[in-house]
Amino acid sequence: MSSAEASVLNCADIGFFALSVLLDRFGLRIECVTDGEVIPGSWFGDREAGLIGDRLYLRADTPVHSALHEACHWICMDDERRAALHTDAGGDEPEECATCYLQLLLAAYLPGFGFERALADMDAWGYSFRLGSARAWFNEDAADARDWLLRHGLIDSAGQVLWQVRREPVNPVRPTDAAV
């Protein structure tokens, strides 16, 4: 583990309770894993968070940004994928960007973590953004991610979290001349 990776805030640093309260608002439950045990449902292994069904698996040494990122995958996925979820959140690039954006929004609701620390930890962990940092991406290149979250009912037009899981975009059906 690099020194930058070692510098990120872990779940033990803020406690599981704050994460549990935050994620319970979406219907996602936290399962604590004993130190040293393999984290069930972890795509990346090691100390990264895991997802199975409506459970987010964390250890004390799981980075907070990893817990939020996997939770946001769960929030952003459609009902069909959420119902069958085991380890691989799947999704496409626009959904991945929306996941990162939502992760930053939710960080502000975690006492002891917050938006600024989330940006720093994402950079330290090696999240890759075209503009070189999480802050530059969020401020200058994330309009598509914000629009995705708005379109799927996860934030409002002011960028405020709506505390619900993904809804499919509303596509109005318009009558055609052929329907006469």
List pLDDT tens digits, range 8-40: 999 999 999 999 999 999 999 999 999 999 999
* CA-to-CA dists, residue 117 to 51, 110, 120, 137, 143, angstroms: 23, 10, 5, 15, 21
Place of tokens 């449902």: 41
Give the pLDDT of residue 108. Answer: 97
Give the pLDDT of residue 5. Answer: 67
Instruction: Write out pLDDT tens, residues 108-152.
Output: 999 999 999 999 999 998 887 778 899 999 999 999 999 999 999
Residue type for 37, please?
Answer: E
Give the global pTM.
0.89
